[in-house]
Amino acid sequence: MIISNMEEIPGKRVVQHLGVVQGSTVQAKNVFRDIGASLKNLVGGELKSYTDLINNSRQEALQRMKREAVALGANAVLNVRFSTSTITQGAAELLAYGTAVVVEDSPNG
């Protein structure tokens, strides 16, 4: 499965478009991590636990998108975008979407 945010893949051509696929997760923060975060809000700096938390859920969103693409019979997802929105204080939705396609090797590169 090729995942890319470009519209084309070098050396391949798109033979079939299968439509938009998406995957999303809604993530709430952890109260215990918040204790560390409020300390960091005083002195400043990176909130490592938040970075990891968001990264993990983004990874999961990508996985869900991929699964949807596989279910459609795609072998690539092109023009992938990410979008994030905070829902309430302490929760965020992470979305990944793109176009599922079938690609095959193109003789003239």
Partner 1 sequence: MGNLSLTFAIDFGIPALLIVFAFFTGTIVERRHFRRIIDRENELRGIPAFAIRRIPKDLALSHPKLVYGSAVISVDYFKKFAASLRAIIGGRLGTYESLFERARREAMLRMKDEARRQGGDIVLNVKFETVRIFSGGGGAVSVEAMAYGTAYRKNHAGAEIH
Q: List interacting residues with partner 1 (CB under 8 A).
A: 2-11, 29, 34, 37-48, 50-51, 54-55, 58, 62, 80-86, 89-90, 92, 109
CB-nearer residue toward partner 1: 18 or 30: 30
CB-nearer residue toward partner 1: 19 or 34: 34
Distances in Å between the alpha carbon of 26 and those of 67, 78, 89, 101? 17, 23, 13, 26
If we measure between CA atoms, which residue out of 95, 91, 93 comes closest to residue 30? 91
Question: What letter does residue 10 receive in the DSSP assignment?
Answer: T
Least distance to partner 1, CB of residue 72, Å: 18
CB-nearer residue toward partner 1: 39 or 71: 39
Contact 34, 41 (CB under 8 A): no
Least distance to partner 1, CB of residue 80, Å: 6
Cα 5 → chain centroid: 11
Least distance to partner 1, CB of residue 71, Å: 19
